[in-house]
Amino acid sequence: MKSNWFTFCVLLLQLLMLVAATSSSKSLNIGKPNNMVPKLLPPQAYLSFSHYHSSCPDLEAIIHRRLQAWFNKDYTLAASLIRLHFHDCAVRGCDASILLNSRGSERSAEASKTLRGYSVIDDIKKQIEIKCPKTVSCADILTVAAREATVRVGGPFWEVPFGRKDGKISIDREANRIVPQGYENVTTLIKLFESLGLNELDLVILSGSHTIGRSNCQAIQNRFYNFNGTRRPDPSLDTNYLKTLKTKCSKANNIVDLDGTTPRTFDVAYYNNLKKKMGLLSTDQSLYSNERTTNFVELFASQPSLFYDQFAVSMVKLGNVGVLTRPNEGEIRSNCNFVNRY
């Protein structure tokens, strides 16, 4: 009873303080009409879980069915779709600009040459257009596809808010300038994430998506023989792991797993690999050697459930980056490859 009475008193005090503050602010607004102008809500505030409830109620079911069919044919598409989503959001926000297929677009950039999954999104969009024409954006489809891909490999589920619109601008130079290529230092990565409204925690968490996926050997060969012009291997690579990679990467176009221990499983092996100097990309390994991020690596390596839960939180944040939601922004493409002609 005492606890309930104390809680009641605290709530009553907070209510009285709120009323007093409101009355005070109203009195200060007298004769100052500018203070009464409502602040513009951030773009992500216009997203909604119920956005398609009436206009396309079967949306998520359609996406789920088509993705399961694709994953059953090629499980590696799961990692590819997560990566495609990140590349999209990193440049101009989550507006499906990476999907535009034209000369000089992000899709044609050097930074995008190993991206996959375009046909998957096209297939899903085609099915949705049959059921809900001119209703669902490609940006929303790609965002849900990244969630479904995560779940398929054993990662967490999260609700995706809808209402993104598709961008009309896509420039290859921007992708080449912005998207990480696997050799950047931690400072550069942190600055990129801060520009997206993300932080150091999000950087380490989202890098954990490398618990699945693959890389071509060309991206890492500089670590084998002439790291940073030293004519020696990268000292942050475990010697036995280095030997293994040299064998697997006898040709530059060979493919190697990002996670050298459990490449098909969504788990914390990625972080434990970093502690063993087994990060495939130098950007990955630097997360453990840099004092600003090493504690996060240690934390997630020892707390799988924390990584699991926080990954969902950070993916929601990523999916909200730079979204186009206002009436004068973007469009709903009929074909994800091209801007509308009408």
How far is it, in rounded angstroms, from Cα 197 to Cα 49? 21
Residue 208 annotated as binding site: no
180 is in an annotated binding site: yes
How many whole angstroms separate alpha carbon 274 and alpha carbon 289? 9
Amino acid at 46: Y
284 is in an annotated binding site: no
Per DSSP, the residues of 42-95 read PGGGG-BTTTTTTT-TTHHHHHHHHHHHHHHH-TTHHHHHHHHHHHHHHTTSSS
Q: Is the dihedral of CA 259, 265, 270, 273 positive or negative?
A: negative
- The answer to whether the annotation marks 309 as part of a ligand binding site is no
Task: Determine if residue 120 is labeled as part of a ligand binding site.
Answer: no
The answer to the question of whether 97 is labelled as a binding residue is yes
Q: How far apart are CA 328 and CA 106, in angstroms?
A: 23
Residue holding tokens 């400072």?
187
Catalytic residue, candidates 51, 64, 85, 87: 87
Q: Is 267 annotated as a binding residue?
A: yes
- Enumerate helices (H) and strands (E) in the chain, giving the number of each: 14, 2
Q: Is 262 annotated as a binding residue?
A: yes
Residue 91, annotated as binding a ligand: yes
Residue 210 assigned ligand-binding role: yes
The answer to whether residue 53 is catalytic is no
- Helix, strand and coil in the chain, % to nearest 5: 55, 5, 40
Binding-site residues for heme b:
210
Which residues carry out catalysis?
87
Binding-site residues:
88, 91, 93, 95, 97, 106, 180, 210-211, 259, 262, 267
Binding-site residues for substrate:
180
